[in-house]
Amino acid sequence: MKILIVISNMFGGGAQRVISRLANSLSEDNDVMILAFSTASTFPLAENIRIFNLEEPEIHFADKIGIVRLMLLRAKRVLALSKQLRDLKRKETPDVTISFLEYPNVMNALTGGKDRRIMSERNNPRRKGRMYTYMEQFSFHFADAVVFQTNVVKEMFSSVIRRKGVVIPNPVQVDCLATGGSKKIVTMGRLHPQKNHELLIRSFARFSRTHPSHTLHIYGKDYGECRLQSLIDGLSLTGKVFLEGFVNDVHNAIADAEQFVMSSDYEGTPNALLEAMMMGLPCISTDFEGIREMLGDSGACVLTPVGDECSLAEAMSSLADDPALRNQLSMRGMKFGDSYSLEKVLPLWKEVIGLK
């Protein structure tokens, strides 16, 4: 089967990590292609996967621009990108086209053909704004199937879309298991406001008053690096909080951590948290919408209220002071994370795609 995957880029990010795992597995028995803005990828891809480049259309923005003109220019951009996808579909005649994230989903919606169109929602649309929701609602009406990560998000859409929806969790793979032994607190995620690393840094500042030997290490890149560094400097945490950037071998980099903390305001499915649990790292997370559905009654993670600086600091202290609690969370996390292994998730994707 010829399978075309459409994504904006393959640089970091949870969706990109999922695509790399999915594409590598599917390429063993299928002709897999990826269409993105760059042939470069931060995740390893099988040699037989063909990658095609999207070319950014030349659309010039004035210094001052009204909202109507801005929307028209964005529409022009999407139409130009959709034409590139349409041309590729005509040339390669894929049996299935799978799109991830809002703009690729719109492009998939605007390019008809004989291929089966599968689209995927990778976030919480309520938290992404009205325009994002409109784009996804529009796109999904043209889909043959829509992949959601949780039932919570699936229920945010109309009954027409829900009927073609299927919930598939993210496949999780890790390169090593936790070893512990350090006083490091770690997190992984783009330096984006959604991840609320500011909350984590401020909570760590509180925690550090009673646990001065601990350090905080944040792995990930985005446009928020300067903002976070200013906060670190302002709280006199230089030498205690480190922005580590993007690290290819991140699992080995965090393996000796004492605990993993996710401070997000919202998530689709928290890949980084699942990976940390699968490794056996004791984990803390904010109680964002959908996480209780994911965790069930596993008890695999300590939850704190979204945006609550004091509660997060107290949770970090509890784990730092209680080796038995850390061990308990580690065991529960590894058991829970196994249900998200590629071996268990891949058959669900194959079923949606139409593979035996």
pLDDT of residue 315: 98
Please report how the helices 323-337 and 271-279 are oriented relative to each other, as an axis angle in degrees rounded to 10.
110
pLDDT tens across 202-225, in order? 999 999 999 999 999 999 988 889
Q: Given pLDDT bands bounded at 50, 70 and 90, which one contains residue 107?
A: very high
pLDDT tens across 320-350, in order? 999 999 999 999 999 999 888 888 899 999 9
Rounded to the nearest angstrom, the gap between the alpha carbon of residue 1 and the centroid of all alpha carbons in its chain is 27
pLDDT of residue 269: 79
Q: Given pLDDT bands bounded at 50, 70 and 90, which one contains residue 59?
A: low
Q: Average of pLDDT values for 257-262?
A: 98
Sequence letter at residue 342: L
Q: Domains (ranges, CATH) in the chain?
A: 2-171+341-353 (3.40.50.2000), 184-339 (3.40.50.2000)
pLDDT of residue 273: 95
Q: Average of pLDDT values for 306-315?
A: 98
pLDDT of residue 256: 97
pLDDT tens across 68-100, in order? 666 777 788 888 888 999 999 999 999 999 999
For 12-60, where are the E strands, in sequence order? 31-36, 50-53
The pair of structure tokens assigned to 180 is 């512990």
Task: Name the DSSP letter for residue 340.
Answer: G
Which region, left, alpha or beta, applies to residue 129 given φ > 0 means left and ψ of -120 to 50 means alpha? left
Is the CB of residue 59 less than 8 Å from the CB of residue 81? Answer: no
Which residues sit opposite 346 in a β-bridge?
none
pLDDT of residue 309: 97
